[in-house]
Amino acid sequence: MSKHNTFDRDYFEGEQSHFKGGYELLIRLNRWRLKKFHKIIKFYTKDFNQKTLLDIGCACGHFLDILKQDFEVYGTDISEFGVKVTKIKVKCPVEKGNCEEGLPFNRKFEIVTAIDIIEHLHHPKKALQNIYNSLSEGGYLFFEVPTINDKISQLVYDLFFARDKTHIFIKSVDEITEFVESVGFKKVAIYSSLLPIFTKKESFVSAFSAIFGVFKKGKVPAKLY
């Protein structure tokens, strides 16, 4: 994962932060999106008997604070600052960790979320393998990631995401899908997640850059054995 001051307080709140107007303001403006993610996760996991959820890259705990209404939540982040804030805000198990090196909880989860995390990783496949191994059979991975698919999505990316210099893994929707499936996940759905219109319509998914992926744990491909 990109170090960038280890994603410390300056990354979220400092003068050089890419969060224009401050991280807390950005979260308030995008809270509706987090609530939509929550609704989608509830829909796909409504029949689960156990609902333990690990949020990777929990930052300051805003998403966990919403998710805790319906799930037994855990969090992890590379940022010591984020972990400290989350422990106070959410009052759930939270540990500092780097998902490329391993996950800090010695247990299985039914659900793993990774919102705006994959694009920051130097070794995303290793992270996905760690996530796969942390999931129970039939568990779900939900993630959001920016993509670049064509000229329109390139313009959208440049407008909303390019200022964050810690973005180092930007691919197309098809490339992301193939990449996640190569670890053993099966695609369930991909939503366009940048606009208030959450849709699986391919023209929106490819044009508006940010996607919300729903993937289910399947069998590890033979080539990985």
3-17, 99-113, 116-130: least confidently modelled range: 3-17
Using the structure block, give the residue that is written with the tokens 């208030």: 196
Q: Work out whether the CA dihedral 71, 74, 76, 79 comes out positive or negative.
A: positive
192-214 pLDDT, tens digit per residue, is 998 888 999 999 999 999 999 99
Encoded tokens for 82: 């984020």
Q: Which residue, 96, 64, 68, 71, is CA-closest to 83? A: 96
CA distance 144 to 74: 18
Which DSSP string do the residues of 130-143 spell out, in sequence order? Answer: HHHHHEEEEEEEEE
CA distance 136 to 23: 33
Using left for φ > 0, alpha for ψ between -120 and 50, and beta otherwise, residue 116 falls in left
CA distance 18 to 27: 13
CA distance 25 to 96: 24
On the CB side of 16, CA atoms within 13 Å amount to 9
CA distance 155 to 48: 40
77-93 pLDDT, tens digit per residue, is 999 989 999 999 999 99
32-47 pLDDT, tens digit per residue, is 889 999 999 999 999 9
Neighbouring residues of 214: CB distance < 8 A, sequence distance ≥ 6: 40, 44, 140, 141, 142, 187, 188, 189, 190, 191
* pLDDT band at residue 183 under the 50/70/90 scheme: very high
Architecture of domain 4-224: 3-Layer(aba) Sandwich (3.40)
- Per-residue pLDDT, 5: 47
Which DSSP string do the residues of 21-62 spell out, in sequence order? Answer: T-HHHHHHHTHHHHHHHHHHHHHHTTT-S--EEEEET-TTSH
pTM score, two decimals?
0.89
Between 178 and 11, where is the model more confident?
Answer: 178
